[in-house]
Amino acid sequence: MVIVRSTLTFQPVLDRIADEIAQTPTRGRPADYIPALAACDPARFGMAVAELDGTVYGVGDWRQPFSAQSITKVFTLALDLAREADELWEHVGREPSGNPFNSLVQLEYENGIPRNPFINAGALVVTDRLHTRTGDAAGTLLDFLRTESDNDRLAIDEDVAASEAAHGDRNAALGHFLASYGNIGNPVPVLLDAYFRQCSVAASCADLALATGFLARHGIRSDGSRLLTQRQAKQVNAVMLTCGTYDAAGEFAYRVGLPGKSGVGGGVIAVVPGRCTLCAWSPGLDEQGNSVAGVAALDRFTTLTGLSVF
C-alpha cells in the first residue's frame, strides 16, 4: 500500500489512479435528460487534489472546465448557512432521502420540507433563501467560486442554463409544490432562473478542489477569513457524507469514506478535514447519477493513501 504523508507529493498517487482508470472499460453514460450534457465523452477523466495552503496536484483533464451541476449545492448551502445560521434548518432537513434526487413523492409526505439540501427540492429552498438575502444567488455563488479558486475566468455556461430551463419541468413542479406549502419566498420563475444558472457554472477539477478548501480548513476561506464556524463546517461535511451522492450515499461512504458531493456533469468533490480536498471528473454516470470513474478514482485515493474520516 502507498502511504502519503505530509512531506510527500500527491502526484504519484494521482498518476497511478489515472493509469488504473484508463484500463477500466465501463464508464457509464452522460446525463441525457439535459441535452447540453448528453454529448460529453464518457472517456474523459481528470482529478485534482488541493492542500490546505492552495498547492494543487492534478492528472488527466484536471484543468478542463465542466458543468458543476449539483456540486454547487454545497457552496450555496455554505453561503446561506453563513448568513442565517440554524434558521435554515427549519426549512430543510438533514436526513438521507432514499429516493431519486428529483422526486416529488417524499415532499408531499413531509408537508413541503425537503429531506435534505442536496436533493433538488432542498437545493431550491436553499437557493431561494440565498437569493432573498443577496438579490442574486447565482452571482453570489460565482463570486465565491472565483475568489476561492483564484480564477476570474469562471463563468456560467449560458447554453447549459438554457438547456436546463427548456427541460426543467420537474424542477418547476418542485418549485410550485414548495410554494404551495409556503416554503419559497421568491416567484417560482425567478427562483428557477437562479437555480438553473447556479447549476450551469463551468469549472475544472482544480477550481472545485480549491473552492472546497474551506471545508477542510474547518470553515476558513483561502484568505484566512472565516465563512463558517467550526460547528457549521462540521454540519456541511456531515450532510455531504450522508446525503451528497443522492440515494447512493451509503455506498459512497462505504467505498470512499469521505464527505462528498456529486453532480450529473460528472464531477465529484470530497473533503479530508484538516488535510486536503479533491475533485474527480468523468461524464459517464451510473443509475444514481454519480460518475462511475470519479467515484472509482476517489475510492482508490482513500485506499492508496489511507486518508479517510474512518
Residues marked as catalytic: 70, 73, 195, 246, 264
CA 169, chain centre distance (Å) = 22
Question: What residue has cell string 472565516?
Answer: 226
Q: What are the CA-CA distances from residue 35 to residues 106, 164, 189, 260, 288 (Å)?
A: 27, 8, 21, 26, 18
- Asked if 41 and 55 count as a contact pair (C-beta separation under 8 A), the reply is no
Task: Indicate the residue type of 237.
Answer: N
Pairing of strands 46-51, 56-60: antiparallel
CB neighbours of 109 closer than 8 A, spacing ≥ 6? none
Backbone angles phi, psi at 152, to 5 degrees: -70, -10
CA 75, chain centre distance (Å) = 8
CA 115, chain centre distance (Å) = 17
Q: Give the count of beta carbons closer than 10 Å to the beta carbon of residue 173.
A: 15
Helix axes 158-166, 188-199, angle to 10 degrees: 130
